[in-house]
Amino acid sequence: MDNQLWEKVDDYLETALDGRDDVLSEVLFSSREAGLPAIQVSAMQGKFLHVLARLIGARRVLEIGALGGYSAIWLGRALPPEGKLVSLEVDARHAEVARANIDRAGLSALAEVRVGPALAALPGLVEEFGEGSFDLSFIDADKRNNPAYFRWALRLTRPGGAIVVDNVVRQGRVADTAAALQTVGSKGYDGFAIAFVGIPQPSEVAS
Ligand SMILES: C[S@@+](CC[C@H](N)C(=O)[O-])C[C@H]1O[C@@H](n2cnc3c(N)ncnc32)[C@H](O)[C@@H]1O
């Protein structure tokens, strides 16, 4: 098995399960035209995030690492009209492209891209929204800060919510966090770590 085969199967799944999505094709095209690197999640990974958000009934989503807004659009489409997605992006050019793409997808009313280093923005999110106020956090930025991002996500994600960390396998070079799910496909061999934010057992809740 090699990357070429994974890529072919991903292409097949994308066509068979998802059909053509003109908006997402335009999003990828405009990101390429703007010179952004093609390091967004694959279509199937985006769909997985979308389904996960719907399964947990997500209303608020936190994303760390927007790039051109591709995964933000998959996630934003899972939210109800009054939902909210906050995506943190350090690169002003990436954020600009992401905003245009989010607008193209008709999600500007609920999805917001904030520019700056995520670690500088995260404490402010606790102040602004409160602890445990997000249903789903997706971590996909600079990998060396993943442990710190994960700790912030734990504070910001509600009990019963989920945290997904991308790129934890990296061609077999497993990172600090344990991989829960290996992924292969058009993005090569990698993996998502998925953490369920625990709900305290009755015995653990102080009376
Ligand atoms: C892999 S890309 C994100 C892909 C996006 N989640 C998607 O799938 O469409 C990583 C992004 O994180 C951004 N990034 C890197 N370091 C960051 C930091 N310290 N704070 C916020 N964003 C950062 C990069 O500029 C890049 O746009």
pLDDT in tens, 77-128: 999 999 999 999 999 999 999 999 999 999 999 999 999 999 999 999 999 9
Which residue in the block uniquely carries the two structure tokens 């997000």?
134
CB of 141 closer than 6 angstroms to any ligand 1 atom: yes
CB of 44 closer than 6 angstroms to any ligand 1 atom: no
Residue 41 CA, closest ligand 1 atom number: 8
Best mutation site among 27, 64, 86, 90 for ligand 1 pocket (most ligand atoms within 8 Å of CB): 90
Record the pTM. Answer: 0.87
The amino acid sitting at 112 is E
For ligand 1, the distance from its centroid to the CA atom of residue 201, given in whole angstroms, is 35
Tokens of 165: 């960390």
CB of 113 closer than 6 angstroms to any ligand 1 atom: no
In whole numbers, what is the pLDDT of the chain averaged over residues? Answer: 87
Phi first, then psi, for residue 154 (nearest 5°) are -60, -40
Stretch 13-31: mean pLDDT, rounded?
85
* Residue 143 DSSP symbol: G
Asked if the model's pLDDT at residue 176 lies above 50, the reply is: no
Dmax over CA atoms of the chain, in Å, equals 58
Separation of alpha carbons 64 and 90, rounded Å: 9
pLDDT at 133: 98
CB of 41 closer than 6 angstroms to any ligand 1 atom: yes
